[in-house]
Structure 1
């Protein structure tokens, strides 16, 4: 079977300028509705979905009806929620395979270091979090499973950007870099130099760049020279990172890469665009 050509990930900004005609319009609106739900607001009323999506109530009512029929959303007391069918569909993705292969090693790492652990992949110029294991008494952070953040503002994202295709970096550096904190990297030339250093060591740091007071060290999971994901260990910004953390993190990313390669269904993974 001929491989599909890799396509650029469509961002929210891109979607706002794309034509929406006929059946494609219905599909866009369905995703507009689905994306109103979040980890912080898992149950929404029809009025809330309309307000958050910017769609008319009549349109939202029609789209929700379609999504209810196929099980993409479910109705419960107090409103609507994402349906379990969406979890079943998502589990079939290559990222589901990656998470399954990584989980035993993430749990071992979490037990060994007792700190917050993240597993993430690159999606366009954003980083998407697939897993988060919390440390006890960890402070609030902007990360959670399914959350996307600008990759250059995070340790996991920079570890992946250092191995990203040239067109991804060119796209990112062709416009002003968004910032999450005053310490986020904002100048494209500075980011490129930063990524050059990371590429030579395969160790990336985030110092107050995604959230003030929080830092992390991250390393990529390399399979066949390709960074398929990355793992980070979090720590408070007033702490000095223990070099031993970098070593145990490296052993974990190597173990995950070996587990992925050993999977019988792994051959499907490398050709899939992240």
Structure 2
């Protein structure tokens, strides 16, 4: 459990570094001019735009000091003032977003459970508690299909979406054929598939395309594709077992008929 959410501390640290790192870097490189745009992007991820407007107000005040600093630079007074103002922009924006860090992480997690309304405040613990209570009333089979559907709807890769849709279809067939064996099926595959899809969606929504992220996503895509094969094999085994049972019953039936002289 993390400091602000029910997620792991490593998850919180990763998203904190991403948020503050991008905001701080953009502030330093652009002298704070483009920082509201970076904040708007992160705000859009969690459906909040008030951070953008507040950052614009900060930017207006900051621009005044930046213009003043450039005036001193042109006047050949001192370049130290410009550097100081640039560092100040980095510091102000990072501190500003740090104040909203808890809300950002909570909303980032909540969007995995509910559809966030723009700028609406949520009680994180209450929403998670209510969600868990609802989940307890849902059968494992329905919950598994619901989660697969939820993660599928957030994936942009058409091939992955196709594979997840096939997983859902195969799961529904397996449940319909034999609910008792389906329980064992969920024990084998349920939590693993859910975790893989959740991790894939999180990586897909980080807006980072470095070699490590791309490699991890490709590995997860391979796991999802292989899972489809596994599900198909599970279904094939069930069908073969049914066929053997039917064949055995048919043989016994024929033997009984022959024994009675009916056949």
TM-score interval, smaller chain: under 0.3
TM-score (structure 1 length as normaliser) = 0.24
More strand by share: 1
